[in-house]
Structure 1
Amino acid sequence: MARATLKDVAAAAGVSVSTASRALADNPAIAPATRDRVRACAADLDYQPNAQARALRSSRTSIIGLTVPSLVNPFFATMAHVIQQEASRHGLSTIISSTAEDPAQLATSLGTLASQQVDGILAVPYNGSDDAFTRLPMPVVLVDRELPDAGLPTIASDPRPGIDAAVAHLLERGHHHIGYLSGPMTTSTGVGRLAAFEEACGRHGVDKREIHHGGFDRAEGHQGTLDLLDRGVEAIIAGDSMMSVGALEACHARQVAIGRDLALIGFDDNSTMRLQASPVTVIDQNVADLGTRALHLLIDLMSGTSPPPAPTTPTTLIIRPSSDFTRRRHHRD
């Protein structure tokens, strides 16, 4: 008869393999009742830990690494906070590195984390940074952005539902000349969101559309908004958090009344978007869910399991007064 495995114990106890492993190791992050249930199932199955796996576990550091493009960007700051808090609940410490939207800094950060012998890495990558991940000896999970050719497990959102809903909403309110603040083509999110905007405009028959090609930062959002306003747009969709902030600043500087003179839709929900005279409609990715799911996937991989590919999570449109007004066409004629 085949020897029971850790996976068998986890199934019998109704928990994940990573939880079963931590329970048998007396990890304080696991509830006492769960630890007792896992131990009882292990005893019933006559489970005997593999000596080699036990030796490998003993060399673990209980530290994970996280690289994000920016800690100024509220989306990535929230992601880092969520991951760090959830990791702590699982008895893990987190080393966080900001790579400043620079592939070279990402490569350096990954090398530093590897030299610290972290047990696993969560990373937000850049297009073309595949080589930086090839020699890493520990499990890696990509978050938010994808590297299709790298073959690494990835947790990301699908921009299409949220952007499609945004374009449809603007047209329903009479906003037919729509501008889009696009992120850089060096990121999968920049490419994917622009494609989603183009597809939505084509599907819904937008009269006029304008695109400002920029980057994921406040200054690009500011300059891009001024550019789009000069092109006469009636509505603007921003392609990320920081460009949304830049768009707000540009509108205030031009004395453009959001929710009356211009319909504005931002990306990612945060307090800046809500605390405006005209609270801003947003395309939300649910960053807390993204971060939590990415960490749980990494923990499973660190425990030696091979979970199924994680599906992308849909973006959603949260409608607020900044876009939820009806434009009377004669006001623009």
Structure 2
Amino acid sequence: MATISDVAKLAGLSVSTVSRVINNSPHVSSKKRNLVKAAMTELGYVPRPAARQLRGSKTNTIAVTIPRIVNPFFAYLVDAIERVLDEQGYSTLIVQTFGRPEEEVTALNLLKNQQVDGVILCSIENSWAVIGAYQKYGKIVLVNEYLKEKDVPVIRSNQYKGFYMATSFLYDQGYRKIAYATGRKNIVITERGEDFDSDRFAGFQDSLNEHQLRFNRQWLFTGAHTFEDGRKILQQILTLNVRPDVLIAGSDEVAMGVVQEAERCKIDVPSAIGVLGVDDQPMSANLKIPLSTVQQPVKRMGQAAAEVMLKQISGTETSTETVFELKVIKRASA
């Protein structure tokens, strides 16, 4: 069985440095932290919980996983979570996964090693077979994500209904060729209520079908997360023989990139191409061309996730699922 000394030797660092990484000390460079994590993974090393933790005392710390802290949606979500936890004397440990499954496992291992009392997952990178195995070590809450398994508290919004309404709104605005962007690499259709991205796309498709609109596969854009991704999407649209007349951008961040690139290319928004974002970030209303968007109740979702986590820790029974409704906000971009 590997020891902390083995980890230090493989990483080329001192045992004290490895110890600081294991105990989440802030005084370690990201380079050294990554070396230690890589060595632990290679050796299969799992740190033993401190004696205090073995006695069953709480850490009063909750880990929160997000893909990217620079995404305003997740920044506001974490802010809402952290404010509730702070009021109750809890600290928050933010883990950015960058969309990598192994980083999510790193956060879950904090629970396994009793370094945190619970984990709030704001974005899922692993299957439930992986995530669910950690429930025996402590409390897990999902927010802004959901899977078909119902044995874990879920705080989510009604993605199906929101995207159905968004697509119908665009139809009512006169658009007929509607493009769709998502952050996922692919979309797998499941039964409604089982998967975040599947629900979004199903709402979109059902509205198209109801209005007898045809969806062109060339109008599906995947892996879109950032402002720069939005700019690239517009450039791809300009190469198409048959162009969409509006885009559901998947996030306000992506939508803003599309709008700015359209402005740079002297393409009029919304007459040449309309753009609909998702989230209703505060800056969306203050752009040169204010952004039409699907408003998500991010503050209420974050507060609810923190409150459910605290109830779980205290042993209070909680509801399995809390669902918030979305709202279409009409502005100038569509």
Which of the five TM-score ranges fits, normalised by the shorter chain? 0.7 to 0.9
User: How far 1:57 moved relative to its partner?
Assistant: 11
Alignment of 1:99-178 (within 5 A): 99-115=97-113, 117-123=115-121, 124-128=123-127, 130-136=129-135, 137-149=137-149, 151-178=151-178
- Matched residue type, 1:128: S
Identity of aligned residues (%): 25
- 1:202 equivalent in alignment to 2:209: yes
Kept in 1, the 8 Å contact 2:150–2:320? The answer is no
The residue number in structure 2 matching 1:312 is 323
The residue number in structure 2 matching 1:225 is 234
Distance in 2 separating the partners of 1:104 and 1:179: 32
User: How far 1:203 moved relative to its partner?
Assistant: 1.6
| Corresponding residue SS for 1:261 | coil
Distance in 1 separating the partners of 2:102 and 2:280: 30
Gaps (5+ residues) in structure 1?
1-54, 324-333
- 1:214 equivalent in alignment to 2:213: no
User: How far 1:109 moved relative to its partner?
Assistant: 2.2
Kept in 2, the 8 Å contact 1:130–1:150? The answer is no
- 1:61 equivalent in alignment to 2:59: yes
Kept in 1, the 8 Å contact 2:111–2:134? The answer is no
TM-score, length of structure 1 as denominator length? 0.73
- 1:183 equivalent in alignment to 2:190: no
Distance in 1 separating the partners of 2:262 and 2:147: 35
User: How far 1:105 moved relative to its partner?
Assistant: 1.2
- Matched residue type, 1:215: G
Q: CA RMSD in A?
A: 2.5
1:296 corresponds to which of 307, 315, 326 = 307
Alignment of 1:237-252 (within 5 A): 237-252=248-263
* TM-aligned CA distance change 1:165 to 1:132, over 3 Å: closer
Kept in 2, the 8 Å contact 1:143–1:294? The answer is yes
More displaced 10-residue stretch of structure 1: 139-148 or 127-136: 127-136
| Deviations 1:217-264 (CA, angstroms, capped at 9, x unpaired) | 124333223323434211111112432233234323322222332211
User: How far 1:298 moved relative to its partner?
Assistant: 0.8
* TM-aligned CA distance change 1:273 to 1:155, over 3 Å: same
TM-score, length of structure 2 as denominator length? 0.73
Distance in 2 separating the partners of 1:64 and 1:221: 33
| Corresponding residue SS for 2:127 | coil
- Matched residue type, 1:217: H
Distance in 2 separating the partners of 1:299 and 1:186: 34
- Matched residue type, 1:228: I
User: How far 1:130 moved relative to its partner?
Assistant: 3.3
Gaps (5+ residues) in structure 2?
1-52, 189-194
User: How far 1:172 moved relative to its partner?
Assistant: 1.8
Alignment of 1:65-76 (within 5 A): 65-76=63-74
Kept in 2, the 8 Å contact 1:268–1:283? The answer is yes
User: How far 1:127 moved relative to its partner?
Assistant: 4.9
- Matched residue type, 1:167: T
User: How far 1:165 moved relative to its partner?
Assistant: 2.0
Distance in 2 separating the partners of 1:308 and 1:77: 26
Kept in 2, the 8 Å contact 1:139–1:302? The answer is yes
- Matched residue type, 2:300: D
* TM-aligned CA distance change 1:209 to 1:310, over 3 Å: same
User: How far 1:192 moved relative to its partner?
Assistant: 2.3
| Deviations 1:110-129 (CA, angstroms, capped at 9, x unpaired) | 21354352121101313525
Distance in 2 separating the partners of 1:129 and 1:100: 19
